[in-house]
Structure 1
Amino acid sequence: MSARERLVVVGNGMASLRFLERLTERAPGRFDVTVVGAEPVAAYNRVLLSSLLGGEVDEAACGFRGLDWYAGHGIRLITGAPVTAVDRENGLVVVGETHVLPFDRLVLAVGSLPIRLPLPGADLPGVVTFRDFADVAAIRSAAVDQAKAIVIGGGLLGLEAAVGLARLGVDTTLLHVMDRVMERQLDHTAARLVTAAMEARGVTMRLSADTAGIEGDGRVERVRLRDGTVLPADLVVMSVGIRPSTALAQACGLATGRGITVDDHMTTSDPRIFALGECAEHRGIAYGLVEPAYEQADVLARHLIGEEAAYAGTSLATSLKVSGLPVFSAGIVDTPEGTDAITVHDAAAGLYRKLTIIDGRLAGAVFVGDISEQARCKELIRSGAPLTLDDRDDLMFGRREPQALAA
């Protein structure tokens, strides 16, 4: 029998684990697999970081697969060991300073890096990001009694960080440079409902707030806004977005744009090397979201075992809970001029639904409070099927059960 192909996977996050699960389901034992993760623990659920920060769950509850799962599937797992170089010519991965792993095929699932705003004082002790277990530990250690925390960024991670701090009883203020939170996913009405929910959780919300700098003598003490406002702070959490991790790929000469460039099979510019998840750029898009990463992982697993599979991109939809409030968004968020929008809004109940219709087809949906029709919305947006009157009623008011005929 010929020796198994040596497959090395760099990165052990959510995308990497999904790829390994699909590969072992479809072709157990086909490859000699080694996985290298920079973090000291195996893959865990980053979606639960705010719950971890707020003390609702512990680290164990965030885990996906125990070490026995990797061992049981013949996968060598190396944790706490960053890959420092890839030698494409000789087919080698360098781990740390001296450890070398040969490969026949290589998968880069190296994720992304949190963006740090290039502000004066951004490197002061007490200024942290919110991306992994280490960040949560740093935030919790700084969130002492009577501490004042500033969260910069009104996207999902910023909101989650602020809610987690508020759960700890920390005096928390969220700053966002835009005039509404989650502006890529929510229109103004939906964003106001989310803002109200955040305030109800004890978070002070400051919108259209442009941060000018972070100040302090040896550690963070205050945040200064461009309008001159000064806010006291013992802790500053920067949560202003992520960027694909491309340094390793660039250093070994792979093609990169915003992310590591891949084709429909997740193949990079080197046919032996593949990339998926937040580090990958497909058809000019680096998604930075879980759903596309999982779809890419499924495609790559099938491709590597010789099945017909191609990734054509992901029609983005967001479904989540913000401060306990269910939120769903897909397609067009802000209604363009000349298009139809149907809305239902009950501010007191925290309910909002909007359908954007173009040429008789559903082009976008934003729901807050009740998202029970999200699956049907995604289906209609992706298929482009004509929207019937019954569809409109069902999506806005819920699908009605057929009435029984009277005897």
Structure 2
Amino acid sequence: MTEKLVIIGNGMAPGRMLEHLFEAAPDRYQVTIFNAEPRVNYDRIMLSPVLSGEKSFEEIVIHGDGWYIANGVLLYKGHKIIAIDRVAKTVTSDKGITESYDKLVVATGSVPFLIPVPGHDLPGVITYRDLDDVSAMLLAAQSQDKAVVIGGGLLGLEAAAGLRERGMNVTVLHVMPTLMERQLDPAAGYLQKAVEARGIEVITKADTKAILGEKRVTGVELKDGRIIPASLVVMAVGIRPNVALAKEAGLETGRGIAVDASMQTSDPSILALGECVEVGGRTYGLVAPLYQMARVAAEKLAGAPEPRFEHSETPTKLKVTGIDLYSVGDFADGDDREEIVLRDATAGVYKRLVLKDNRIIGAVLFGETGDGAWFAELQKKEADIASMRDTLIFGQAFQGGASADPLAAVAALADDAEICGCNGVCKSKIVSTILSKGLTGLDDVRAHTKASASCGTCTPLVEKLMTLTLGDSYNPAAVQPVCSCTTLGHDEIRRLIKAKQLKTIPAIMQELEWKTSCGCAKCRPALNYYLIADWPDQYADDYQSRFINERVHANIQKDGTYSVVPRMWGGVTSASELRAIADVVDKFAIPAVKVTGGQRIDMLGIKKEDLPAVWADLGEAGFVSGHAYAKGLRTVKNLRRYRLVPLRNAGFHRFRHSHRKIHVGLVDSRQGEDGGVGLSA
């Protein structure tokens, strides 16, 4: 008989748990998920690339709506569970939905810590934990210019880098003498220099006294009297397990929800996993142990005998483009410990290995991190490194006294060597999957094994494995140039525009060594778009660098003719407007006219040389471009006669001809993004 499984929370850990569960016992449970966020499951560790503009939300979605439908999962979006009745075995959401369960999984995650100083609740003070926080930062970056990030840990530095990429002046305040003091040793000095080189001010030993402002934040006051101006303050000073719901339900809690090694809580019908739990006296915030919890919980639900979660050291990686940092293990001083250190201040490279009894117990790599996974593997296996001690710091490729073929180093890895730490994927799984499924591309490997699908740090290692496995048949995705004017691809150009502060098309072409003096019809529109997106307040749109459709306000057709779509506000027209369109059709012998799905009239087959005259006549009749030719505001459709329209919580309002006013008010001929507006009863 199918059992009812209810999951509270839809983060990465419960999502991975369901993947394992559907593989092991696909028909055992009827699954219902309550997600406090109004969206599907996404990769939280990729929020920083979303903030910096390197990725979109769609690119970090793990399970789209189709996945839930295909697996028969009922997902309640935007429903926060407010009560667990352990006697009746039900949960109740803040929207009034009550659901019964046979098994319950609590995955409420963590809550960000707010420094309890005066002003911490002012508008403009936010945390950095989910997509809503990223959206708030992006919105602030459009209208504000000064940001202060409190906290110099992983999240704080990633937030600071993202806001700097968005054009804000950023100051990082850190209470300790060095950045990321939990993960780093003296390498923090190298890190601070790299952060400051990106135009980010770093103030260490900065103890916050108060956040200033009346109606909105205006600055941060330090205990030494300094005042740092700010129109946005991001607190990234740590997290704590979200145990409130579990505690109210009477479950045993400590720092987190108490669970045993099988993720079982004090209630035999309830499991818990993720950042909200405490197992073996520890809480976890990195994705690798959370995914291990997910596997254990899935095995428990599937009926496996005594699955166990085992603690292991998890590497720390900073997700800031251009700053390579890798840290794993223990760095505490001790008389029984030795160090091997490599420093190259000019190249910005620092490597430090901490040894005990000829075994690696800690590693810090800055600047060159390619051997991080290998050092972590040696540390995890407690391997005796005595025989390679003299060359150990130079990495795996130098074992044997001289630089070896990097592929030979990958080939030498044991079959159980962990390649992807985030998802716990070993070498043998990747190789066997490539061969058994005939995979030829990195995206295929990501889809089938999850390797390289999270933070992406292991991507070079996965690509080497593919080269080793497939030989000449594998062509690592060479960068596809934007056009023949350059050898660079879109992503690299976008990165360099920001990194080199390039703010005009000529500056880009000169600095990035364009092969042509003026570019072409492919690259100029791309460069123009990137400059508008990256420097909206400093770059003036180059109208002649737009695509042909945008320049002539018409859609080019396969036969070389054009179609023209005059704007009709909200789909409403008049006899005089229709008569003007008919006159244009007759005057220029336009061969085809149709009504579009957007409540407009499309005239097709117009010659390019006729376009200026066509628009001149349409302009005299009061028409403007319908923007069917670019990523601008598209269609605002009207509703027939009277309708009642809910607007947020303001109640119902009469809606008659306001659709035309809404349409006119929303139009922005220089807008670069698609927009959608829905009005419904």
Taking structure 2 as the reference length, what is the TM-score of the superposition? 0.57
How far is the alpha carbon of 1:323 from its aligned partner?
A: 4.7
- 1:114 is aligned to 112
1:60-209 correspondence runs (5 A): 60-145=58-143, 147-188=145-186, 190-209=187-206
8 Å Cα contact 1:48-1:62 kept in structure 2: yes
Q: Distance in 1 between matches of 2:396 and 2:106?
A: 43
- 1:222 is aligned to 219
**SS in structure 2 of the partner of residue 378 of structure 1:** helix
8 Å Cα contact 2:312-2:380 kept in structure 1: no
Percent identity for Structure 1 against Structure 2 = 45
1:328 corresponds to which of 299, 318, 326 = 326
2:261 corresponds to which of 260, 264, 276 = 264
Q: Distance in 1 between matches of 2:115 and 2:35?
A: 26
Mark the CA change 1:358 to 1:397 in structure 2 (over 3 Å): closer, same or farther: same
One-letter code aligned to 2:41? A
8 Å Cα contact 2:342-2:393 kept in structure 1: no
For structure 2, the 5+ residue unaligned runs are 404-681
One-letter code aligned to 2:253? T
8 Å Cα contact 1:335-1:356 kept in structure 2: no
- 1:311 is aligned to 309
1:211 matches 2:208:
yes
Stretch moving more, 174-183 or 319-328: 319-328
**SS in structure 2 of the partner of residue 164 of structure 1:** helix
* Paired residue total: 401
**SS in structure 2 of the partner of residue 311 of structure 1:** coil
8 Å Cα contact 1:115-1:241 kept in structure 2: yes
How far is the alpha carbon of 1:145 from its aligned partner?
A: 4.9
1:390 matches 2:409:
no
- 2:291 is aligned to 294
Stretch moving more, 253-262 or 97-106: 97-106
Deviations along 1:211-240, whole A, 9 cap, x unmatched? 111011211111100100011111100010
Q: Distance in 2 between matches of 1:248 and 1:127?
A: 25
8 Å Cα contact 1:201-1:323 kept in structure 2: no
How far is the alpha carbon of 1:401 from its aligned partner?
A: 7.3
How far is the alpha carbon of 1:387 from its aligned partner?
A: 1.8
Mark the CA change 1:132 to 1:146 in structure 2 (over 3 Å): closer, same or farther: closer
How far is the alpha carbon of 1:144 from its aligned partner?
A: 3.5
8 Å Cα contact 2:79-2:95 kept in structure 1: no
Mark the CA change 1:319 to 1:144 in structure 2 (over 3 Å): closer, same or farther: closer
By relative contact order (CA 8 Å, sep 6+), the higher-ranking structure is 1
1:13 matches 2:11:
yes
Q: Distance in 1 between matches of 2:14 and 2:263?
A: 13
1:375 corresponds to which of 373, 379, 399 = 373
One-letter code aligned to 2:246? A
How far is the alpha carbon of 1:338 from its aligned partner?
A: 4.7
Q: Distance in 2 between matches of 1:192 and 1:300?
A: 41
1:236 matches 2:217:
no
**SS in structure 1 of the partner of residue 21 of structure 2:** helix
- 2:457 is aligned to none
Q: Distance in 2 between matches of 1:374 and 1:105?
A: 40
For structure 1, the 5+ residue unaligned runs are none
Q: Distance in 2 between matches of 1:323 and 1:117?
A: 29
How far is the alpha carbon of 1:61 from its aligned partner?
A: 1.3
2:348 corresponds to which of 347, 350, 375 = 350
- Please tell me whether Structure 1 or Structure 2 has the larger radius of gyration of its CA atoms: 2
Q: Distance in 1 between matches of 2:226 and 2:40?
A: 43
**SS in structure 2 of the partner of residue 149 of structure 1:** strand
Q: Distance in 2 between matches of 1:383 and 1:86?
A: 42
* Structure that is richer in strand per residue: 1
8 Å Cα contact 1:362-1:381 kept in structure 2: yes
**SS in structure 1 of the partner of residue 398 of structure 2:** coil
Mark the CA change 1:106 to 1:282 in structure 2 (over 3 Å): closer, same or farther: same
8 Å Cα contact 2:163-2:170 kept in structure 1: yes
One-letter code aligned to 2:236? S
8 Å Cα contact 2:194-2:323 kept in structure 1: yes
8 Å Cα contact 1:146-1:171 kept in structure 2: no
How far is the alpha carbon of 1:63 from its aligned partner?
A: 0.8
- 1:28 is aligned to 26
Mark the CA change 1:203 to 1:270 in structure 2 (over 3 Å): closer, same or farther: same
One-letter code aligned to 2:238? G
**SS in structure 2 of the partner of residue 84 of structure 1:** strand
How far is the alpha carbon of 1:399 from its aligned partner?
A: 1.9
**SS in structure 1 of the partner of residue 63 of structure 2:** coil
**SS in structure 2 of the partner of residue 139 of structure 1:** helix
8 Å Cα contact 1:194-1:322 kept in structure 2: no
8 Å Cα contact 2:207-2:223 kept in structure 1: yes
8 Å Cα contact 1:29-1:74 kept in structure 2: no
How far is the alpha carbon of 1:149 from its aligned partner?
A: 0.6
8 Å Cα contact 1:113-1:244 kept in structure 2: yes
Q: Distance in 2 between matches of 1:361 and 1:60?
A: 43
Q: Distance in 2 between matches of 1:311 and 1:338?
A: 30
One-letter code aligned to 1:233? A
Mark the CA change 1:203 to 1:337 in structure 2 (over 3 Å): closer, same or farther: farther
Deviations along 1:14-42, whole A, 9 cap, x unmatched? 11111111111221122111111100111
Mark the CA change 1:146 to 1:218 in structure 2 (over 3 Å): closer, same or farther: closer
Deviations along 1:102-160, whole A, 9 cap, x unmatched? 00000011110011110101011111111111111111222235611100000100001
Deviations along 1:355-402, whole A, 9 cap, x unmatched? 111122211111112222222222222222322232562443442377
Q: Distance in 1 between matches of 2:52 and 2:327?
A: 26
Q: Distance in 1 between matches of 2:350 and 2:387?
A: 20
One-letter code aligned to 1:78? Y
**SS in structure 1 of the partner of residue 391 of structure 2:** helix
Taking structure 1 as the reference length, what is the TM-score of the superposition? 0.95
Q: Distance in 2 between matches of 1:7 and 1:335?
A: 48
1:248 matches 2:240:
no
8 Å Cα contact 1:83-1:95 kept in structure 2: yes
How far is the alpha carbon of 1:348 from its aligned partner?
A: 1.8
**SS in structure 2 of the partner of residue 165 of structure 1:** helix
Q: Distance in 1 between matches of 2:189 and 2:147?
A: 22
